[in-house]
Amino acid sequence: MRAALLSAVLPLALLTACGGDDEAAPARSDTPAAGSSAEDASHPHTDAPVVGGKKLRAGEERVTVAMQEPYTASAPTGVGTDDYRCFLLDPGLDEDKYLTGTQVLPGNPDVVHHVILFEVPPDLVRKAEIFDGVEDGPGWTCFGGTGLTPSAQIDDAPWLAAWAPGGKETVTKPGYGKRLEKGSRIVMQVHYNLLAGTRADVSATQLRLAPVSKKMTPLTTMLLPAPVELPCRPEHADGELCDRDVALADVKERFGEKEGSTADILHLLCGEIDPGAWQSCKRTVKEPMTIHGVAGHMHLLGRQLKIEVNAGTDRARTVLDIPVWDFDQQGGIPIKPVALKPQDTVTVSCRHVQWLRDQLPSFEGQPDRYVVWGEGTTDEMCLGMLQYSRP
């Protein structure tokens, strides 16, 4: 889970609650194969079989959207082991709908690190079509976000959903969803991890859609990025990449000047930062809101993650606590609704450790480095996410 951000804003999720009493349908795969034709993959299919999904509720329909043709990832800058690619998808919305659930279907899980779905409202469709036609092959390079919306859009992020290892179908609780306007498109941003090879991929997503109703409450996603400032271990401190400036320059070389600058931008967002394993960032709530779901995202060096409301006060409350981070389990978590008022705060904190380099195959042959925020699988992130409604 784009599992990239302030500069994007970072790409994990429409944090939806489980579907309650829905019954699971038989697991059947309708993900387009690598050899599927563009005609087969580019059109939504309302009659597609459910892939391990839940039974539809009254009034809902299921639409499958997929990449138009296979894509084989490569490092866009010529260096690094990561490729972020955006694919423009058309769910065929001939009227406004509420998105009430999603199931991301990675075509090749060996190379798909995570998937983010972004909303493209009608007024941005033409811009997205232009982006889609600039580069050879399907889609366009999109480290950070899609490039279609302002870079600092955090409080009302255009995220719709996401998949990361361990992710399953998400379904909103009854009466809640994300409203999509007639004519809207979807951008599916796929982060490819080249450490696992460069095999072709055709990924897809199943959307649960419900008709517009006064009974529906709109949901919104808030992103909570925090810094990563993890120095090398003392016994490795003489390595070239153990210098922060050198390490940051390396990130910029691999992902571009703008996307590589997130580490410094977070200093402005979060205030003074002391390098170390634990980092955090506090956000002040600007308007009344009710939190319905939470999630967190780190990479392979992540160890602990926590999201707290009004930390350090007599009203402090922990809404997400992951004492031992598992990269392969990044699904969103529904919670009992938590109401916040203006001037309340939400704090995300993450702990990263260097010693995991000695245990994980992805770091084999890589020297220690000063770790800052970066887009790659072997870089790091600290991201909390809230799904919330307004009064």
Higher pLDDT residue, 18 or 167? Answer: 167
Looking at residue 5, its pLDDT comes to: 33
DSSP 134: H
Scanning the structure block, which residue is given the tokens 């308007």? 287
Looking at residue 51, its pLDDT comes to: 57
DSSP 48: P
183: alpha, beta or left? (left if phi > 0; alpha if psi -120 to 50): left
- Given a cut of 60, whether residue 223 has pLDDT beyond it is yes
Show Cβ contacts of residue 193 under 8 Å, excluding neighbours closer than 6 positions: 81, 82, 111, 112, 113, 377
Residues 278-293, mean pLDDT to the nearest whole number: 96
Lowest mean per-residue pLDDT among 144-158, 223-237, 251-265: 144-158
Question: With pLDDT > 90 as the criterion, what percentage of the chain qualifies?
Answer: 59
Show Cβ contacts of residue 232 under 8 Å, excluding neighbours closer than 6 positions: 239, 241, 242, 354, 368, 369, 370
Mean pLDDT computed over every residue of the chain? 84
Looking at residue 261, its pLDDT comes to: 87
Residues 196-219, mean pLDDT to the nearest whole number: 92
Lowest mean per-residue pLDDT among 48-52, 181-185, 263-267: 48-52
Question: Phi/psi of residue 54, each to 5°?
Answer: -100, 155
Band of residue 282 on the pLDDT scale cut at 50, 70, 90: very high
Q: Which amino acid is residue 291, in one-letter code?
A: I
Rounded Cα–Cα distance for residues 215 and 197 (Å): 47
Residues 64-90, mean pLDDT to the nearest whole number: 91
Rounded Cα–Cα distance for residues 84 and 4 (Å): 10
Per residue in 235-278, pLDDT (tens digit) is 999 999 999 999 999 999 988 887 788 899 998 899 989 999 99
Looking at residue 7, its pLDDT comes to: 31
Looking at residue 196, its pLDDT comes to: 77
Higher pLDDT residue, 41 or 235? Answer: 235
Decide: 387 and 14 in contact? Cβ < 8 Å.
yes
Band of residue 50 on the pLDDT scale cut at 50, 70, 90: low
- Given a cut of 70, whether residue 23 has pLDDT beyond it is no
Higher pLDDT residue, 291 or 18? Answer: 291
Looking at residue 150, its pLDDT comes to: 59
Q: Which two tokens stand for residue 140?
A: 């366009």
DSSP β-ladder status, 229-230 and 278-284: unpaired
Higher pLDDT residue, 327 or 153? Answer: 327
- Given a cut of 70, whether residue 4 has pLDDT beyond it is no
Per residue in 349-365, pLDDT (tens digit) is 999 999 999 999 989 98
Scanning the structure block, which residue is given the tokens 């690094």? 80
Buried b (16+ CB within 10 A) or exposed e, 317-336: eebbebeebebeebbbebbe
Element (H, E) at 64: strand 61-66
Which domains does the chain show, CATH number per domain?
38-216 (2.60.120.310), 221-389 (2.60.120)
Lowest mean per-residue pLDDT among 14-23, 36-45, 376-385: 14-23
Rounded Cα–Cα distance for residues 179 and 238 (Å): 53
Residues 112-120, mean pLDDT to the nearest whole number: 91
Beta bridge pairs of residue 153: none
Residues 45-53, mean pLDDT to the nearest whole number: 51
Long-range contacts of 239-243 (CB under 8 A, 24+ apart): 239/367, 239/368, 239/369, 240/367, 241/367, 241/368, 241/369, 241/370, 242/368, 242/369, 242/370, 243/370
Q: Is 279 helix (H, G, I), strand (E, B) or coil?
A: strand
Band of residue 105 on the pLDDT scale cut at 50, 70, 90: very high
Lowest mean per-residue pLDDT among 33-42, 272-281, 297-306: 33-42
- Given a cut of 50, whether residue 12 has pLDDT beyond it is no
**How many CB atoms lie under 10 A from the CB of residue 70?**
20
Rounded Cα–Cα distance for residues 43 and 54 (Å): 23
- Given a cut of 90, whether residue 72 has pLDDT beyond it is yes
- Given a cut of 60, whether residue 25 has pLDDT beyond it is no
Long-range contacts of 301-304 (CB under 8 A, 24+ apart): 301/230, 301/352, 301/353, 301/354, 301/356, 301/357, 301/371, 301/380, 302/327, 302/350, 302/351, 302/352, 302/380, 302/382, 303/277, 303/351, 303/352, 303/353, 303/356, 304/349, 304/350, 304/351
Show Cβ contacts of residue 306 under 8 Å, excluding neighbours closer than 6 positions: 318, 320, 321, 322, 348, 349, 350
Rounded Cα–Cα distance for residues 226 and 72 (Å): 32
Residues 128-140, mean pLDDT to the nearest whole number: 94
